[in-house]
Chains A and B, each alone.
Chain A
Amino acid sequence: MAAIRFEDVVKRYGDVVALDGVDLTVETGRCHCLLGANGSGKTTLLRLLLGLTRPTEGTVARPAATVGCSFQDPTFYPDLTVAENLDVFGSMAPPPDEGWRARLVGVLGLERVATRPARDLSGGWQKKLDLALAFLKRPTIAVLDEPLDDLDDRSKHRFRTFLADYPDEDHGLLLATHHVDEFAATLDHLTILDRGRVVSDAPVTGGPAARRRYLDLIETGSTSGVSE
Chain B
Amino acid sequence: MALRSLFAREARWVRHNAGVLVLVLLVLPSLFAVSTVAFQQVIPRDTPIAVVPESDVVSEDEVDAVTGVAAFFSRPHDYDSRASAERALAREEVYALFVVPHGLFDEDASVTIEMVVEEEMVPYEQPSLAIANILSGQLRGTFPAETTVERTAIGEDRTLSEFLVSVGTILLTMVYAFVYLPRVVADEQRVFQRIRVESSLWRLLTVKYAVFLPLMLVPVVAFQGIAASLDFRVDLFAPGALAATLLTFLSLSAIALGVMFLTRFATVGRMVNATLLFGTLAFSNLVYPAGFFSPMRRTVARLSPIHYAAIVHRGTALKGNAAALYADRYLLLGGFAVGALAFLAGSVVVYQRRA
Q: Which residues in A have some Cβ–Cβ distance to B below 8 Å?
A: 47, 50-54, 67-69, 71, 73, 75-79, 89, 92-93, 133, 137
Contacts and interface: CB of A to CB of B under 8 A. Distances in A.
A75 B355 contact: no
A75 B194 contact: yes
A47 to B, nearest CB: 7
A77 B191 contact: yes
A73 B189 CA distance: 12
Contact of A75 (B187, B193, B199, B353): B193
Contacts of A68: 197
A52 B187 contact: no
B191 A54 contact: no
Interface of B: 187-188, 190-191, 193-194, 196-199, 352-353, 355
12 contacts: A50-B196, A50-B197, A51-B197, A54-B353, A67-B197, A69-B197, A75-B191, A75-B193, A76-B191, A77-B191, A79-B187, A92-B199
A37 to B, nearest CB: 23
B355 A89 contact: no
Where chain A touches its partner, the secondary structure class is loop
A51 B191 contact: no
Contacts of B190: 73, 75, 78
A4 B227 CA distance: 61
Nearest to A133: B194
B196 A52 contact: yes
Given A71-B194, A137-B198, 9 more contacts: A47-B355, A68-B197, A69-B197, A71-B193, A73-B190, A75-B194, A77-B191, A78-B191, A79-B187
Given A47-B355, A52-B193, A54-B353, A93 B188 contact: no
A76 B196 contact: no
Contacts of A137: 198
Contacts of B199: 92
A147 B352 CA distance: 25
B353 A52 contact: no
A69 B196 CA distance: 11
A67 B197 CA distance: 8
A52 B197 CA distance: 7
Contacts of A78: 187, 190-191
B198 A92 contact: yes
B193 A93 contact: no
Contact of A77 (B188, B193, B198): B188
Q: Report, nearest first, the 9 A-B pairs whose CB atoms are least far apart.
A: A75-B194, A92-B198, A93-B198, A92-B199, A50-B197, A75-B193, A69-B197, A77-B191, A75-B191
A79 B353 CA distance: 28
A18 to B, nearest CB: 13
Contacts of B188: 77
Contacts of B191: 75-78
B193 A51 contact: no
Nearest to A75: B194
A89 B197 CA distance: 11
Contact of A76 (B194, B352, B353, B355): B194
A50 B196 CA distance: 9
Contact of B194 (A53, A54, A69, A79): A69
Contacts of A50: 193, 196-197
Contacts of B352: 52
Contacts of B198: 89, 92-93, 137
A73 B193 CA distance: 10
A163 to B, nearest CB: 19
Nearest to A67: B197
Nearest to B192: A75
A53 B197 contact: no
Interface centre among B188, B193, B194 (most CB of A within 10 A): B194
Nearest to B194: A75
